[in-house]
Structure 1
Amino acid sequence: MYRCDMKSMEDKIKTFSKFGDAGHGGITRYALSEEDKMARAEWLRRMEAIGATIEMDDLANMYATLPGSEPGLKRIVMGSHCDSVKNGGNYDGILGVMSAMEVLETVVRENIPHRHPLTAMIFTNEEGSEFPPCMMCSGTMAHDYMPERFRDNFEYSKMMASKSILTPDVTFGERLAAFPYKGDKANRMSPEKYMALFETHIEQGPILEDAGKDIGVVTCVLGQMLYRVKFYGFAAHAGTFPMKKRHDAFHAAAEALCYLHEEIDKLGYEDLVYTTGEVVIHPCVNTVIPDFFDFSIDVRHENPEVLNKVREILFSLEKREWQKCKCEVVLGWNRDTVYWDKKLVGYVREAVEELGISHMDINSGAGHDAQYISYMIPTTMIFAPSDKGLSHCEVEHTSVEQCTNAATVMLNAVLKADKDQ
Structure 2
Amino acid sequence: MTQIVHLHEALDGQRLWDDVQSLAAIGALEPKGIRRLALDDEDNRARLWLAEQGRSLGCQVYFDALGNLFLRREGQDASLAPLLIGSHMDSQPQAGAHDGALGVLAGLAVLRTLQEQGIEHRRPLEVVAWTNEEGARFAPGASGSSWYVGQREYEDIVSALDGEGVRFGDALQACLTLLKDTGLEYRPAPFVPHAFLELHIEQGPVLEQLGKPVGVVSGIQGVNWYRIQVEGVANHAGTTPLQARRDAFDGAHELVSALKEATREQDDDDLRFTIGKFSLWPDAVNTIAQQATFTIDMRHPRQAVLDDLDAQFHELARNQWSGCDVTLEVTSRVAPVAFPETLLAVLRESADSVCKEAPELVSGAFHDAIHLAHVCPTAMFFTPCRAGISHHPDEHIERQDADIAVRALAHAAETLLITRNNAHDSDH
Whether these two folds match at TM > 0.5 is: yes
Counterpart of 1:294?
293
**In the alignment, does 2:156 pair up with 1:158?**
yes
Deviating more after overlay: 61-70 vs 309-318: 309-318
Structure 1: distance between partners of 2:170 and 2:113? 38
Greater CA drift, 131-140 or 306-315: 306-315
Q: Secondary structure at the match of 1:332?
A: strand
1:178 is aligned to 174
CA distance in 1, matches of 2:129, 2:95: 18
* Aligned match of 2:3: none
The aligned runs of 1:333-352 (5 Å cut-off) are 333-352=332-351
Aligned to 1:11: 18
Deviates more, 1:287-296 or 1:255-264: 255-264
1:241-320 aligned at under 5 Å gives the runs 241-320=240-319
- 1:99 aligned partner: 106
- Higher mean Cα deviation, 38-47 or 84-93? 38-47
108, 111, 119: which one aligns with 2:115: 108
1:84 positional shift: 0.4
Query: 2:353, 2:408 within 8 Å by CA — same for their partners in 1?
Result: no
1:313-357, Cα deviation, whole Å (9 max, x unpaired)? 423423543222122332222122112232222211111112345
Count residues in correspondence. Answer: 408
Deviation track 1:399-420 (CA, whole Å, cap 9, x = no partner) reads 1111122211111101111232
Q: Percent identity?
A: 30
Deviations 1:189-247 (A, max 9, x none): 312xx311111111111122223322121111112111222211011122332333211
What amino acid sits opposite 1:61 in the alignment? Answer: N
Contact 1:58 1:184 in 2 (8 A): no
Q: How does 1:119-138 map to 2 (within 5 A)?
A: 119-138=126-145
The answer for unaligned runs of 5 or more in structure 2 is: 1-5
Q: Say whether the 8 Å CA contact 1:215–1:358 is kept in structure 2.
A: no
Cα shift at 1:260: 2.5
How many Å separate the matches in 1 of 2:141 and 2:52? 27
Alpha-carbon distance in structure 1 between the residues aligned to 2:81 and 2:329: 43
TM-score, normalized by length of structure 1? 0.92
Match 2:84 to one of 74, 77, 82: 77
Mind listing any 5+ residue stretches in structure 1 that lack a counterpart? 147-153
Report SS of the residue matched to 2:359: strand
- Which of the residues 29, 40, 56 maps onto 2:36? 29
| Corresponding position: 1:355 with 2:354 | yes
Q: Deviations over 1:123-177 (max 9, x none)?
A: 011111111111012111111xx5xxxxxxx221111111122x21x21111111
Pair 17,36 (structure 1): closer, same or farther in 2 beyond 3 Å: same
Deviates more, 1:401-410 or 1:307-316: 307-316
* Contact 2:83 2:125 (8 Å CA) reproduced: yes
> What is the DSSP-based 3-state SS (H/G/I as helix, E as strand, rest coil) of the residue aligned with 1:120?
strand
Q: Distance in 1 between matches of 2:355 and 2:153?
A: 44
Moved more, 12-21 or 305-314: 305-314
Equivalent-residue separation in structure 1 for 2:357 and 2:117 (angstroms): 25
Contact 1:62-1:181 within 8 A present in 2 as well: no
One-letter amino acid of the structure 1 residue matched with residue 328 of structure 2: V
1:135-214 pair list within 5 angstroms: 135-143=142-150, 146=151, 154-165=152-163, 167-168=164-165, 170-179=166-175, 180-181=178-179, 186-191=187-192, 194-214=193-213
* RMSD (CA atoms): 1.9
1:58-78 Cα shifts (integer Å, max 9, x gaps): 111111111112332221111
- Larger CA deviation: 320-329 vs 34-43: 320-329
The TM-score, its normalising length taken from structure 2, stands at: 0.90
Partner AA of 1:93 in structure 2:
G
Q: Is the 8 A contact 1:29 1:85 kept in 2?
A: yes
CA distance in structure 1 between the aligned counterparts of 2:187 and 2:97, rounded to whole angstroms: 32
Aligned to 1:90: 97
Q: 1:314 to 1:71 in 2, by over 3 A?
A: closer
